[in-house]
A and B are shown apart, each in its own frame.
Chain A
Amino acid sequence: MSKTMTLRQKNKMFWERNRKSGGHLLRKTLGNYGYKLIRMLMLFGMCFMILQPILNKISISFMAEEDLYNPMVISIPENFSTENYQLAAQFMSYSESFVNTLLVSLSIAVLQIIVCTLVGYGFARFKFPLKNFWFACVILMIVIPPQTLSNSLYLHFRYFDVFGVIKLITGDTLNLRGSTLPYYLMSAGCMGLKNGLYIYMIRQFFRNIPKELEEAAYVDGCGTLKTFIRIMLPDAKPILTSCFLFSFVWQWTDGFYSRTFLGGVKLLSTQVEIIAERLDNYIIYTLHEASGASMGYTNAIVATGTLMVIVPLLVIYLFAQKGFVESLSSSGIKM
């Protein structure tokens, strides 16, 4: 009872105030609601636009082949089947490539972040000759498209040698093609996927830590390394988490480095690209249908395969969403 009273009172007060303000309050309130409505519609539209391809993939992935050509079926499959998943998993050797991708992405991400943290810290907190030159090299690395250098890198690892030492000992240069070693070496040297960006972000973070903190540690007798590990690293957790997550995720979907350097290993990102070809072969040689896979069916299988690649990332994103975003907004990226 009292609640309705207050509501009615509120109403009365509103009109009273509106009368006093000469209709200004009403206009303002209506404008506010209109704005909120428009904003809601717009955000809904944009969210839908971004999510639509994923939703579309999900619905296609559960459709049997005849549903794809049935004009009555748009998003909810009539003949619900998980056959697409089985086929896609078979073509991608899913369990094997999944484990491989997980191991490679994880180890590469850890390696890259350790190295990039060291380098970023070095750039942020120390003064040394030629610092600007080396930092310009980092920027150069961000800007050079890796494709530009891929042919030379290919030759580099085909006839791999460290200043002629290996040739002296064994009489021939090493052929590192097809092994995973080159990519690990490159990651250890900060030359992996988008490593310049990580160095830049980490440097930006460390630059914002007050100098007093470091000086206090030195006065208390901490060495350089100890200061770094005990004082600086615990502070840098958010930025390191987010760099790690980025590194992991981008490595997971990366095609270029995987194709160039990790060709011998079955990875999800390289497997999903040849899935259409596999399906064609499967239909022609195993099912003996000379026409091959139809376009719609190929796309359904490819969509399923793509979905299977991104679902682990989606799960990570659901749980670690803050980790991705938080440090980006807290580190205050500036030039």
Chain B
Amino acid sequence: MKKQSKLAGLQKRKAISGYLFIMPFIVGFLAFMVKPFFRSLYMSFCEVLVSGKGISMNFNGLTNYIRAFTVDIEFNRLLVEELSFMLINTMAIMVFSFFVALILNQKFKGRAFVRAVFFLPVILSSGVILGIEYDNALLSSIEATIEENANGASITEAIENILVTSGIGASAFEVVFEIVDGIYDVAIASGIQIIIFLSGLQTIPENMYEAAQIEGCTSWESLWKITFPMISSLFLVNLIYTVVDFCMRTDNEVMEKISDAMIVNLDYGFSSAMAWVYFLIVIAVLGLISLILSKVVYYYE
């Protein structure tokens, strides 16, 4: 009896020190997150008026939300576009990063250099640099001139024309070509994912492949039967990271619209409402992904 209470005492002490360790987070969360969080939620149900004296909020129910969906001409379109772009892009990033990780896991000369290059965008194309990269008007104008002069001499465009005129599933090809044209964006966004996949690939014991090979397994089969199950949990991690990363990007059009409404039009209520819609959709997408994938994921211990 006495022993048990002592154990409880130790557990209690540990619980207290645990709380002490995460104290900074709790304080920060309560001080800087909870209040803005609920205020922004409240604002989305209000008509917010900004004047010289300060700010006044008049509760007006769902008006902002109704306006976002039914009155505003852009919001629905941007949302759908952005989400479909996100889906396509995420898939492309996953395939690309898995493929690159597979290659980078092999031994060849200059591997360290290639790895370094693939990771470079994580460092250099972040924050403001990405924004500057995107509205580089000179490059795009040069590109336009070249395209004009060359009369569609770019390889992808030529192939595109052939395939589209041949009339086999034109819409499916369009998606593929969109990805091929945007391969630079995909490569730039997949630095972290490549590293995560690589780390997973390196933990797969070599003897599994050897055993499979002796049993007469081709490398194509062992890719599907060994590599895929062994790193399936990393697909989940990478998918979630990619989706979050994509939603946070500053060149995201929905984001731009939200911050435009806030900074340019000072329409705080409306922008909060749009931000909340967007945020809830992203949460739903993430939840859906983890729900589906957690059924498939295989944990090897």
Contacts and interface: CB of A to CB of B under 8 A. Distances in A.
Interface of A: 36, 39-40, 42-43, 46-47, 49-51, 53-54, 56, 115, 118-119, 121-123, 125-129, 131, 134, 137-138, 141-153, 155-156, 185-186, 188-191, 199, 224-225, 228, 249-250, 252-256, 269-270, 272-273, 295-296, 299-300, 302-303, 306, 309-310, 313-314, 317, 321, 324-325, 328-335
A256 B294 CA distance: 34
B119 A325 contact: yes
Contact of A329 (B202, B247, B294, B297): B202
A129 B100 CA distance: 43
User: Which range contains the number of B residues in contact with the other chain?
Assistant: 35 or more
Contacts of B115: 325
B123 interface: yes
A150 to B, nearest CB: 8
Interface of B: 11, 13-22, 24-29, 31-33, 35-37, 39-40, 43, 55, 100, 103, 106, 108, 113-124, 126-129, 131-133, 136-139, 141, 183-184, 187-188, 192, 195-196, 198-199, 202-203, 233-234, 236-237, 244, 247-248, 250, 255, 258-259, 262, 268, 271-272, 275-276, 278-279, 282-283, 286, 290, 294, 297, 299
A59 to B, nearest CB: 13
Contacts of A151: 40, 43, 262, 268, 271-272
- Chain B binding surface, main DSSP class: helix
Nearest to B236: A335
Contact of B31 (A189, A295, A303, A329): A189
A309 B125 CA distance: 11
Given A127-B15, A155-B39, A253-B127, A333 B25 contact: no
A145 B28 contact: no
Contacts of B187: 46, 49-50
A333 B196 contact: yes
Contacts of A152: 35-37, 39-40, 43
B25 A128 contact: no
A91 to B, nearest CB: 14
A156 B39 CA distance: 10
A329 B108 contact: no
Given A50-B121, A188-B28, A122 B14 contact: no
Contact of A115 (B13, B24, B203, B262): B24
Contacts of A53: 133
Contact of B25 (A129, A138, A147, A317): A138
B123 A306 contact: no
Contact of B128 (A141, A148, A156, A254): A254
Contact of A255 (B36, B123, B128, B138): B128
Given A122-B18, A333-B234, A148 B29 contact: no
A50 B118 contact: yes
Contact of A272 (B27, B106, B128): B128
B97 to A, nearest CB: 12
A150 B275 CA distance: 11
A191 B33 contact: yes
A250 to B, nearest CB: 6
A225 to B, nearest CB: 8
B15 A317 contact: no
Given A141-B29, A191-B29, A324 B119 contact: yes
B135 to A, nearest CB: 10
Given A156-B32, A191-B29, A328-B195, A313 B128 contact: no
A137 B195 contact: no
Given A47-B114, A310-B124, 15 more contacts: A39-B106, A39-B108, A122-B25, A126-B21, A134-B25, A151-B40, A155-B39, A189-B27, A190-B24, A199-B25, A270-B128, A296-B138, A300-B138, A313-B124, A333-B234
A191 B28 contact: yes
Nearest to A329: B199
B83 to A, nearest CB: 15
Contact of A128 (B15, B106, B233): B15
Given A36-B108, A314-B124, A149 B14 contact: no
Contact of A142 (B35, B127, B141, B244): B244
A153 B32 contact: yes
Given A148-B275, A273-B132, A188 B24 contact: yes
Given A190-B25, A250-B127, A332-B199, A255 B32 contact: no
Contacts of B259: 147, 150
A119 B141 CA distance: 49
Contacts of B244: 142-143
